Amino acid sequence: MNLIIDAGNTFVKLAVFENGAIVHDIRVELADLVKKAKVIYHEYPQIEWTMVSSVVSLEKTDLKALTVFSKVHVLGHGTKTPFENKYATPETLGVDRIALAAGAFYFKPHCNVLVIDAGTCITYDLITENGEYLGGAISPGLQMRYNALHQQTSKLPLLNPKDPKGLIGNTTESSIHSGVVNGICTELDGVIDQYRMEFKDLTVILTGGDNQFLSKRLKNTIFAFSNFLLKGLNNLLDYNKR
C-alpha cells in the first residue's frame, strides 16, 4: 500500500492506494496534516511507502514525523520520471505539473495527451506520443479571476462561481458571472482547439477542483477526473520504488 500526500495552495489531500486504486481519501487543512496522517497509518498498517508532493513549504518536522510510519519519497526535481522532460528550465517546473504529466503518460501510453488542471491556477501540460513532456501554459483559475475583479477595482463585489444565465449580463453580478465563466470556458475550448491543430489524435483530460463545474460547459470532448493528480503521484512513487 502507498500513502499519497498532495499539499496544494488551499488544502492537503491524502489518499491510500492499493494495487493502483484509491481505497481511502480525505482532504484536510495543512495544520492537521500529521495528525490525520497518523490516523491513516494506524488504520492501514500495510502502508510501506509515502509520496509527498507540495507546492507550499512543509515543515521538516512534519516530514520527519511521517518517516516513523513508512518510507517517504518527497517529489522533487531529482525524482525519476517515466517520460523525457524537455522543459527548458526543469528546475522551475512545479511538482504538481510533474505529477500530472506522469498521470497523462500512464493514462494513454504512446499517445498525445493534454492534461488541464483547473485549480487555483489553470495549468496545461502536454505529453507527446513519443513520451516527451514539452510543457504547456499557466493562467488564472476560476476563483482567482473573481478575486482579481474585486481586489483590483474599487466597487466590484467579490462573488463565488455561479452558472451565468446567459451571455449578456443585465446586472453587475450577472455581468461578472458571464465574463468570468464564459471567458474561462472560451479560453479552455480555444486552447484545446489550438493543440488539436498541432497534435493528431489528442486526448484531453480535465482535472482539478473546478473540473466538474467547467467540464459540462465545454464544447470539446474531454475526460474529466477528480483525482488524476493523486493517481499521477502514485504512478511516480511506484516507478521510483523500482
Catalytic residue numbers, as ranges: 96
**What single DSSP character describes residue 76?**
-
95 is in an annotated binding site: yes
Cβ atoms of 184 and 176 within 8 Å: the answer is: no
Where do runs of H (alpha helix) occur along the chain? 33-43, 60-66, 95-107, 142-151, 172-177, 183-198, 211-215, 228-241
211 is in an annotated binding site: no
Candidates 195, 231, 11, 223; CA nearest to 120 is 11
Please name the residues in contact with 197: beta carbons below 8 A apart, sequence gap of 6 or more.
none
Specify the 3-state DSSP secondary structure of 82. coil
The Cα diameter of the chain in Å comes to 59
The CA distance from 177 to 34, in Å, is: 38
120 is in an annotated binding site: yes
13 is in an annotated binding site: yes
242 is in an annotated binding site: no
The CA distance from 218 to 126, in Å, is: 19
160 is in an annotated binding site: no
6 is in an annotated binding site: yes
8 is in an annotated binding site: yes
Specify the 3-state DSSP secondary structure of 28. strand
Please give the grid coordinates belonging to residue 116: 488541464
101 is in an annotated binding site: no
55 is in an annotated binding site: no
- DSSP one-letter string for 194-228: HHHHHSTT-EEEEESTTHHHHHTT-SS--EE-SSH
7 is in an annotated binding site: yes
117 is in an annotated binding site: yes
10 is in an annotated binding site: yes
Binding-site residues from annotation: 6-13, 87, 94-97, 117, 120, 172
Binding-site residues from annotation for substrate: 87, 94-97, 172
Binding-site residues from annotation for K(+): 117
Binding-site residues from annotation for ATP: 6-13, 120
